[in-house]
Amino acid sequence: MAKKEKDQAAKRNSILSRFLSAIERIGNALPHPATLFAILAFGLILLSWVFSRLGLEAINPMDGAVVVPINLISRDGLHWILEKTIVNFTGFAPLGTVLVAMLGIGVAEKSGLISTGLRLMVHAAPKRLLTFVIVFAGVMSNMASDVGYVLLVPMGAIIFLSVGRHPIAGLAAAFAGVSGGFSANLMLGTVDPLLAGITEEAARIIDPTYTVTPACNYYFMVVSTFLIAAVGTWVTERLVEPRLGPYEGGAVAGGEELQKLTAAEKRGLWWAFLVSLLLLVLVLIGLVPENGILRDAETGSVLYSPFMHGIVAFIFLGGLLAGLAYGIATGTFRSDADVVKGMKESMESLGLYMVLVFFAAQFVAYFKYTNLGMIFAIKGAEVLEASGLGPIPLMLCFVLLAAVINLCVGSASAQWAFMAPVFVPMFMLLGLSPELVQGVFRIGDSSTNLISPMMSFFALIVAFVQRYDSKAGIGTVIASMLPYSVAFLVGWTVLLVVWMLLGLPLGPGAELYL
């Protein structure tokens, strides 16, 4: 019986492996990612003309205005394209985040601080928990907005390589936690007040006094953190890593990364720790007092404070100061030229990302400007509204709809900004709370981040993967991340159903039903 079960499991794994390999071949047969984004942008230009000629339109539920496609093949459209090309690129949200953060990280990396810290982590953490720790750390990184994409994703690859495991599997595990678990956390992050504000405005279409707090999904997201870490660990070790097989790239596992720390390295780590601790104390001094300098000057809020808005600056400063302390203590930095060289090398590693971002930014901007994203979302809402389903089936459908729309709209805040005015009032009329609708949206949005080329950092992930497999492309990333996306969507949905059946509150004062 055991042999039969093993044979069946092997057969299922073989089928899954062939399916994912087919996806990888199809995806890699596509043009270069930069070329693909350019083609998609041109395609949107044509679609804007087609839909405008067909008279496609939708009614914005927020103000009752008629939303129509904006034709880019027109005098005004041509002028907009010419005038906004540079702004679309320089204003692309992740671009500044990546560049500024990587300057500080480059100093820390050049000094040797990151590699030494990773060796310490490998020696200290039980190897059987390594995958769980990486996925869990990815989920927790969302407190600092998008920094996890820049720091933890490449770190996951390096850690796996250092213990003789496939680096792309480590990269995938970290990416799964950072992106797939974007809405889960043990603490409130920058996304919580952002989404809550949009939800509150949408709820006030029905009830002008309704209030939504940033902690409205807190209980659900705390439980979700451990769910995502566990599911991500299982997918990595049972599906993704076996499919990848042994790593045969140019980088060699083992070697220096697994050597014991020298006295100089330990001294450097202590100095880096002390400098980081000093920076943390200064931050707390600015945040803890009610009139702290890092709080919002008018409201005293921490969630809406300059600290939260400028978290990337603190990441840069933290990497710079810790890297300097380590480099000076160990002797790897002997002059300011060494520090600048570290920054320069970190920028050089982002060359491909810069090219990809230029075309991706144009595509995203065209999609938003032409109103096609909003029209598609509103039309989908109308279909869902007419379904007549009960609360749980309706929420399950909404999860799927949010997951599908997320493949077309990369920004969670942008997607929710045009979905909330449609769905929140509609579901309120059916007796479902705005907090529930927001929580369900976050499940669908996070689950398909991993396989959406529209996700802002997708181009960066492709560039990271190509460090270890020069032949990799969009298909490689999607094939590696699809098992996570499906598993997260199923696991998270099951948790939602159980939560609704038990009637548990989603957060402080946030019930499921009105």
DSSP per residue, 432-472? B-HHHHHHHHHHHHHHTGGG-TTSTTHHHHHHHHHTT-TT-
DSSP state, residue 176 = I
pLDDT value at 281 more than 90? yes
- Tokens representing 41 are 């942008």
Which pLDDT does position 129 carry in this prediction?
Answer: 83
Which pLDDT does position 143 carry in this prediction?
Answer: 60
**What are the residues whose beta carbons fall under 8 Å from the beta carbon of 265, sequence distance 6 or more?**
112, 116, 330
Which pLDDT does position 351 carry in this prediction?
Answer: 78
- Tokens representing 255 are 């070697």
Confidence class of residue 8 from pLDDT cuts 50, 70 and 90? low
The tens digit of pLDDT for each residue in 144-192 reads 556 677 777 887 888 888 777 888 888 989 888 888 877 788 776 657 7
Which pLDDT does position 514 carry in this prediction?
Answer: 78
pLDDT value at 260 more than 80? no
Distance separating alpha carbons of residues 372 and 45, to the nearest angstrom: 11
Which pLDDT does position 254 carry in this prediction?
Answer: 42
Task: Report whether 474 contacts 30 (CB < 8 A).
Answer: yes
Residue 17 C-beta-side C-alpha neighbours within 13 Å: 14
The tens digit of pLDDT for each residue in 96-106 reads 767 887 788 78
The tens digit of pLDDT for each residue in 413-464 reads 667 766 777 788 778 777 789 999 999 999 988 888 888 766 667 777 888 8
What does the CA dihedral 380, 384, 386, 389 come to, rounded to 10 degrees?
A: 170
**What are the residues whose beta carbons fall under 8 Å from the beta carbon of 468, sequence distance 6 or more?**
157, 161, 167, 168, 171, 247, 249, 251
Confidence class of residue 125 from pLDDT cuts 50, 70 and 90? low
DSSP state, residue 510 = B
Task: Report whether 153 contacts 177 (CB < 8 A).
Answer: no
- What domain range is 110 assigned to? 41-502
In a domain, 344, yes or no: yes
In a domain, 2, yes or no: no
pLDDT value at 9 more than 60? no
pLDDT value at 324 more than 70? yes
Q: Can you tell me which residue has the tokens 């996890």? A: 148
In a domain, 253, yes or no: yes
Distance separating alpha carbons of residues 398 and 384, to the nearest angstrom: 8
Partners of 507 in the β-ladder: 510
In a domain, 507, yes or no: no
In a domain, 27, yes or no: no
Confidence class of residue 257 from pLDDT cuts 50, 70 and 90? very low
Maximum Cα–Cα distance across the chain: 72
pLDDT value at 290 more than 80? yes
**At residue 121, what is the residue type?**
M
The tens digit of pLDDT for each residue in 44-69 reads 899 999 999 998 887 776 567 788 88
Mean pLDDT of all residues in 373-390: 68
Which pLDDT does position 255 carry in this prediction?
Answer: 39
Give start and end residues of each alpha helix (H) in 163-212.
167-175, 191-203
392-423 b/e with 16+ CB inside 10 Å = b?
Answer: eebbbebbbbbbebbeebbbbebbbbbbbbbb
Mean pLDDT of all residues in 22-45: 73
513 by DSSP, 3-state: which?
strand
Q: Of 238, 235, 248, 242, nearest to 161 (Cα)? A: 248
Crossing angle of helices 113-124 and 147-162, in 10° steps, is 60
Angle at 153 between CA 308 and CA 171, to 5 degrees: 160
Which pLDDT does position 205 carry in this prediction?
Answer: 67
Which pLDDT does position 22 carry in this prediction?
Answer: 63
pLDDT value at 113 more than 90? no
CA 250 to chain centre: 28
Structural element, H or E, at residue 477: helix 474-502
Which pLDDT does position 231 carry in this prediction?
Answer: 93
Mean pLDDT of all residues in 3-12: 52
In a domain, 33, yes or no: no
Lowest pLDDT segment from 31-35, 117-121, 240-244, 486-490: 117-121
List phi, psi (to 5°) of 330: -95, -10
Confidence class of residue 251 from pLDDT cuts 50, 70 and 90? low
Which pLDDT does position 235 carry in this prediction?
Answer: 93
* 3-state DSSP helix/strand/coil % of the chain, to nearest 5: 70, 0, 25
377 by DSSP, 3-state: which?
helix
N-to-C CA span, the chain: 52
Overall number of domains in the chain: 1
Give start and end residues of each alpha helix (H) in 331-473.
336-348, 351-369, 372-385, 391-406, 412-429, 434-447, 458-466
Mean pLDDT of all residues in 252-269: 68
Return the CA Rg of the chain. Answer: 24
Q: Can you tell me which residue has the tokens 């595509």? A: 363
Q: Of 412, 419, 479, 420, nearest to 449 (Cα)? A: 412
DSSP state, residue 166 = -
**What are the residues whose beta carbons fall under 8 Å from the beta carbon of 458, sequence distance 6 or more?**
360, 410, 452, 477
Higher pLDDT, 479 or 434: 434
- Tokens representing 64 are 């009752």
In a domain, 84, yes or no: yes
In a domain, 105, yes or no: yes
**What are the residues whose beta carbons fall under 8 Å from the beta carbon of 211, sequence distance 6 or more?**
200
What percent of the chain is modeled with pLDDT above 90? 19
Q: Of 194, 169, 168, 174, nearest to 183 (Cα)? A: 194
pTM over 0.85? The answer is no
Lowest pLDDT segment from 23-32, 72-81, 175-184, 458-467: 23-32
pLDDT value at 42 more than 70? yes
Higher pLDDT, 84 or 216: 84
DSSP state, residue 92 = -
Higher pLDDT, 331 or 300: 331
165 by DSSP, 3-state: which?
coil
- Tokens representing 66 are 């008629």
Confidence class of residue 275 from pLDDT cuts 50, 70 and 90? very high
